[in-house]
Structure formats: structure tokens, C-alpha cells
Structure 1
Amino acid sequence: MNNRLLSASASSRQTRGRNNIRISANTVRRRLSTSGLRARRRYIGPILTQRHRHQRTLCAQEHGAWDRIQWRSVVFSVEFRFCTDHADGRVRVWRRSGERYQADCVREHDRWGGASLMMWSAISYNDRNGPVFTQ
């Protein structure tokens, strides 16, 4: 499939079968499904440069062999931002299983901008904290 963002209906309008006969949207959906493609929402992730990707790889290599004792000193925290001023923009993309992070299946976005609600939480080996909300 050349354009992963094209809906099955739009694809059926652009595609012709034998004898120049129009193909139905359901036929397009069946053929895509047979090929292992499913319509899914695009993964939305941070903008990553080559430097970011390289640093993440180095970090994974450095910490990949840590034992349980070393991991006990680590605190994992998470921060979520819920947008309150616009829709989530559910654009579907046709992809196979395992292609979630492939470049043409990701919609990059700038995380800072617009009205929102923030939530933080953290967890470690021996403890966790509940979510904290701010506006």
C-alpha cells in the first residue's frame, strides 16, 4: 500500500479492477486484512532526532544487564498531559502487527501547547505514589 493514511473508501475510488471495474471499499478492506493490515490509530510519540535515538540505544545497552539490586535504586516516573482544547485527531493508518513504531505509522507532535491537565506519578522497587493532578 503506497499511502497508509488513505481510507478503504478513498482507496476503492482510486483503484480499478479487471476491465476497469470499480472495486468496493469492502473488497479493499478484505484484501488489506488478508495481507495482515489493520486500520489502527497512529502511535503519537515525541519528536526524536538521530541523536535522541542514539542516546536511547546507549542507555539500553548500558542498563540491559543490570541485576535486581541495581534496579532497586531506580525510580520510574510518568507524566501525562491531557488536552482539553481540541479533539484527539483519530487518523487511522494501515499497518501490520509489529509496525507500530515504523516511521510512516507515527504522528509526531509537539507536547507543549494548548489548554491541558497534567498528571504525575512514580514507582520504585519498594514504593509508589498516587497520581498528582495540576492545571
Structure 2
Amino acid sequence: MMGKCLYCILWSVGLFVATFYCLLAQDEEAFDFTGKELLPIAQSHIMPMIMAMALYLWDVLYSLSMQKMNRDRSLFWILAMIIVFMITFVSSILVNCNVLGWVLFILSWLSLTILKYQTTENGQTFPYPISED
């Protein structure tokens, strides 16, 4: 359990730093979009977050294909956190307020981290079952 938590936290922090390193340098105006054009916003906010979610969903598809997850238990969390992610991420861009933007952005990132935690299995599993035909 502790190993799973540590893995998911490190995964989340690593992915955040890798995708949003330039966002961290804009602490005063990171979520103030007054007078900005769409392309810089798409490059600094929208594209990295959509790519992070796409990579996560690819990871979930891989886990499902390996049948490592309890699908009934995880389906609720996957759908709920994707909904929370979408609402909070879009809201972080639309509020046009730096403090509230950061709060909503962090909530969207936490939903992504919860998704990773819910879809990560405990213990050692082998990727391909060996069967005798």
C-alpha cells in the first residue's frame, strides 16, 4: 500500500514537472489570460494537460488489456475522476483569476493522481500469462 502511494506520487510529480516546467516560472500571471491570444494559452496550458491525460488513458488501456484491474471497482473512480479533471481544468482557464486558477488547476492534477492510484495494482504481476496449449 505504501509503495503504491509513493509510486503514484512520484509518477504525478514527475509528469507535472516534465509537462508544466514553464508554467511554474509564471507564478504571477499563470492563470490571468486577459489580452492573451489562444495559441500561447494552448501551448502552455491546454496541450500539455491533454497530453498528460492521453498518456494516463493509454496506461489505463494497457492495464485493462493485461486484466490487472478489478473493472467493477475501478470503473466508478475512472469515470468520476475524468469528469472532475475535465470540469476543473476547463474552469481553471475560464475563471481568469490567478489564485482560483491555481486552485482549480491543482484539483485537476489531483484527480489525475487519484486516477493513477486507482488503476495501479498492488504487488508483482507478470505481463503475459503462460499457458500450455
Q: Name the TM-score class by shorter chain.
A: under 0.3
Which of structures 1 and 2 has the bigger CA Rg? 1
- Greater length-normalized contact order (CA 8 Å, ≥ 6 residues apart): 2
Structure with bigger helix share is: 2
TM-score normalized with structure 1 length: 0.22
Structure with bigger strand share is: 1
TM-score normalized with structure 2 length: 0.22
